[in-house]
Structure 1
Amino acid sequence: MPLPWVRTLVASAASLLLLGTPAVATAAPDRDGVRTSVHTAGRVQDAGDVLKYSWPGVYFEGRVRGTGVGIVLDDPAADYDVQVDGTTVATLVTPGRTTHWVTGLRDGVHTVRLVKRNDTPWSTSAFGGFVAAPGGAVLSRPAARARQIEFVGDSLTAGYGNLSDSRDCDGEQLRRTTNADVSYGALTARRLKADYQLNAYSGLGMVRNYGGGSPEVNYRTFYDRALLNVPGDVWQNPGTWRPQLVVVYLGTNDFSTPVGPGEPWTDESLAAAYRGAYSGFLEKLRTRYGPRTTLLAVGTGPFAGHVEQVVRDRTAAGDRRVRHWSLDATGLDHTGCHWHYSARDHRLLADRLTAFITDLPIRW
């Protein structure tokens, strides 16, 4: 659903909410490089002692032996969940520069997962790794999953306000109730036992943003970046990201508000530009990931027909691995912030998308 453009650019106030055990003395991460001890599928910039990133839903997974684990962060804007052995033990709200400790664990081997909950495109986040409590050790990183799915989208894919109990949210409520980890994409990937990227940017469209805002940019301006607030940044794929499936869900912001005075569009020219850009974007994905990757274009509402047309045209041109998914909105309550999907809606969509993907001839 649409959102006011300005609300996508409001930074969080710095505060820290620790739902786990109190922090203890900080410790330094492994100086051999963070990436050697953590698994991540997200778009990160490897700076050696820290991994930098901007997209929502980026997650880091590790293994530690001992009775405690520290999470080294430098982030004044985003919120995080900390999960140990599959259970969320802490929510960190704009933690700033800190090492958050989870202590009192049974003495043994534990899995730990840190996940960025919300979209903060104006800011760069930095993760400094996991550290073990005294007497323990950080173990080798978990293995990557064989399946990989990339999700491309806007606020609906980012999980915008999905935990809210009201559609009427101010900026603070929006930030605290957005959780990409329970979005339809993250849920679908976990059900399919896949690693995933959520490359979602609230308020942006394929060619036109919500309400015609910020016409000098659109989603495609930012797609190639790891650090969204760094003009010209280009994510360097380490060679490990080769998704068998890319799901593209863009169009809500292009068409959800009428073309206003002063915008360089008519309804007809907007539709034509959207179809042309969409086809070009799919070609970019095809060039990047090769002929074995399935491209799944999502259509619904006023842009469903345009997406179907793009898929038909590409299929006729010989692209054998492009598909269309008509998103079924039946039963969705849209009770998230500003009429976005609720957590229940995301679960329903994950059910439907998982079933659809399962029937596709994907070469996992």
Structure 2
Amino acid sequence: MSCLGCATTSPTTDKAMNDTIISRFSMTNPLVQTIGRTEPLADGSVRFAYPGVTTRFNVSGKAFWLQARSTSDQSYLEIIVDNTEPQVIQLSSQSQRIPLVFETPSPHQVAIIHRGETWHGVVTLEHIEIADGGLLDPSPLPHKRMLILGDSVTCGEAIERTADCKKTTRWWNPRLSYGMLTAAALDAQVNLVCYGGRGLVRSWNGRTDELNLPDYAELTIADPASSVVWDHGNYTPDLILSAIGTNDFSQGIPEREDYVSTYVALIKRLFELYPKTHIVLTEGAILSGEKKAALTAYLTEVQQRVASPRLHLVTSNHYPGDTCDAHPTKAQHAAMAKDLAPHLKRIMHW
């Protein structure tokens, strides 16, 4: 058990009064595990912006402090200790020292998960400090690896909507998204590479001059002001799920040849990067009717043109959200994962 934000004296006072020893560890310490795209900095801190980026470590001690900041006040982290109830932290542009006091000094497993997405702010985890203890050997990560490419649904938008329907960035929760739930069901690591409002060839508003999937798939941080190119050698997925298209179709059905040829080029790029990886295409949960049928037909043509046994198509059921928000609800995300996992398990022989 632990208490996040409980009153604590400063490390200096603790040491003076109680001989408490405070040890500092960088976020690039080899005993700290990271799942997701991050940029390590020279001072030992790490930056990231995609949702679901997870930092894990095992620790012994009386307490620990996380030093963190964002480029805005719209970013949220959640901290989970020993798989207990998550504790949500709102960041700001001012560096914060976030305390967590353990009720027992026995070993604990800590997970820090980024809830927001890129346009909410770019987050920096600076370091951790531990009272009368230190980092322990990390727990093994799953051997299977997934990469999920998508838009706001993949990012977990509006999963934790409130009864008053007044949307804030606290509504996002990628941990409960179909992608992370599916990965958990398959015992796989997962990286989410997604951006709300974006598509394959155009954004929700019809613009083609913004970062869309072929652009941000290449990036660690998809922020035009400080974009960072991703080194694909850092993470080789066994399986890529591409769930893009809803925003391309928001202004109507896009021109067929442009859409299909762009998707074919993206698939060929991914196969070039990952010669043994399987790719699954899906049209996602929001589209219905004529638009859903058109996108499914486009994906079928992509599969035919690429003509690879490693390219698969899995269609989705329609999950329309509710009267509060058009994005799928928490329960609908769980249903989406339940729909999807058996197909991926069969394809991958997992």
Verify same fold: TM over 0.5.
yes
State the partner residue of 2:313: 324
Shift of 1:79: 0.3
Partners of 1:246 and 1:89 in 2: CA distance: 28
C-alpha contact 1:207 1:274 (8 A) present in aligned 2: yes
C-alpha contact 2:201 2:208 (8 A) present in aligned 1: no
Partners of 1:24 and 1:111 in 2: CA distance: 23
State the partner residue of 2:171: 177
C-alpha contact 2:118 2:221 (8 A) present in aligned 1: no
**Is the counterpart of residue 144 in structure 1 residue 180 in structure 2?**
no
SS of the aligned residue for 2:137 comes to: coil
1:357 to 325, 334, 344: 344
Partners of 2:103 and 2:198 in 1: CA distance: 43
SS of the aligned residue for 1:310 comes to: helix
Aligned pairs (5 A) from 1:43-192: 43-48=37-42, 49-75=44-70, 76=72, 77-95=74-92, 96-121=94-119, 123-133=121-131, 135-165=132-162, 168-169=165-166, 173-192=167-186
SS of the aligned residue for 2:348 comes to: coil
Shift of 1:335: 2.4
Partners of 2:250 and 2:303 in 1: CA distance: 21
SS of the aligned residue for 2:334 comes to: helix
Partners of 2:239 and 2:278 in 1: CA distance: 5
Q: Which has the higher contact order (CA 8 A, sep 6+)?
A: 1
C-alpha contact 2:158 2:173 (8 A) present in aligned 1: yes
Q: Flag the 1:208–1:60 CA change in 2: closer, same or farther, 3 A.
A: same
Aligned pairs (5 A) from 1:4-15: none
Paired AA for residue 110 in structure 2: V
Aligned residue pairs, count: 325
2:334 to 347, 350, 355: 347
Identity between Structure 1 and Structure 2 (%): 21
1:210 to 204, 217, 225: 204
C-alpha contact 1:72 1:128 (8 A) present in aligned 2: yes
SS of the aligned residue for 2:108 comes to: strand
Paired AA for residue 152 in structure 1: L
Partners of 1:166 and 1:211 in 2: CA distance: 28
Spell out, residue by residue over 1:157-216, the C-alpha distance to the aligned partner (whole angstroms, 9 max, x if none): 0011111146954xxx23111111111001111111111111010000100110213635
Spell out, residue by residue over 1:236-282, the C-alpha distance to the aligned partner (whole angstroms, 9 max, x if none): 24x45111000001100001223xxxxxxxx5x62221111111111
Give the structure-1-normalised TM-score.
0.82
**Is the counterpart of residue 36 in structure 1 residue 25 in structure 2?**
no
Partners of 1:89 and 1:122 in 2: CA distance: 20
**Is the counterpart of residue 294 in structure 1 residue 278 in structure 2?**
yes
Tell me the C-alpha RMSD between the 2 structures. 2.3
SS of the aligned residue for 1:273 comes to: helix
SS of the aligned residue for 2:328 comes to: coil
Partners of 1:19 and 1:350 in 2: CA distance: 31
Shift of 1:346: 0.5
Partners of 1:305 and 1:167 in 2: CA distance: 39
Partners of 1:23 and 1:344 in 2: CA distance: 38
Partners of 1:121 and 1:35 in 2: CA distance: 28
Q: Flag the 1:348–1:22 CA change in 2: closer, same or farther, 3 A.
A: farther
C-alpha contact 1:131 1:138 (8 A) present in aligned 2: no
Aligned pairs (5 A) from 1:187-198: 187-198=181-192
Aligned pairs (5 A) from 1:220-235: 220-229=214-223, 230=225, 233-235=228-230
C-alpha contact 2:49 2:116 (8 A) present in aligned 1: no
Partners of 1:141 and 1:198 in 2: CA distance: 22
Q: Flag the 1:42–1:276 CA change in 2: closer, same or farther, 3 A.
A: same
Shift of 1:122: 6.2
Partners of 1:278 and 1:308 in 2: CA distance: 11
Q: Flag the 1:130–1:256 CA change in 2: closer, same or farther, 3 A.
A: same
Shift of 1:105: 2.6
SS of the aligned residue for 2:312 comes to: strand
C-alpha contact 1:167 1:336 (8 A) present in aligned 2: no
State the partner residue of 2:16: none
SS of the aligned residue for 1:272 comes to: helix
Q: Give the unaligned 5+ runs of structure 2.
A: 12-21
C-alpha contact 2:35 2:189 (8 A) present in aligned 1: yes
State the partner residue of 2:257: 272
Paired AA for residue 56 in structure 2: E
SS of the aligned residue for 2:265 comes to: helix
